[in-house]
Amino acid sequence: MATQTKSDKGTTTEAVAEDTMEHLQEAKEHLKDAASAGCKAAAEARTAAGAEMDELLDKGRDMLCEAQGLIRKHPVAAFGVAFAAGWVLARLTRR
């Protein structure tokens, strides 16, 4: 009873091979779905990051224009602030 014939072993091997192929196909489909979901999430993140970057650039331009307006309106004060900031930085980096 413990002995199997050659044809029984062949059938068992074929069944195992077929079962393995089915598992591999399922794994392939899962990986394909996961890769697709990852690509979709990356595209959405790229779009969101692009929109955020545009918004930050606009804010930076607005701040620069505002600073230029203040410098034109008060040139002596702007020079004094720049001089003081330079003096403080020089004192801090000397030590």
Neighbours of 81 (CB within 10 A): 13
- Side-chain half-sphere of 24: how many Cα atoms within 13 Å? 6
Q: What 3-state class would DSSP assign to 10?
A: helix
Ordered per-residue pLDDT tens for the chain, 95 residues: 455 555 566 688 888 999 999 999 999 999 999 999 999 999 999 999 999 999 999 999 999 999 999 999 999 999 999 999 999 999 999 87
Domain-wise residue ranges, the chain: 6-94
What are 12's two structure tokens? 């068992």
Asked whether the beta carbons of 78 and 70 are under 8 A apart, the reply is: yes
Q: What 3-state class would DSSP assign to 72?
A: helix
Q: What is the pTM of this model?
A: 0.49
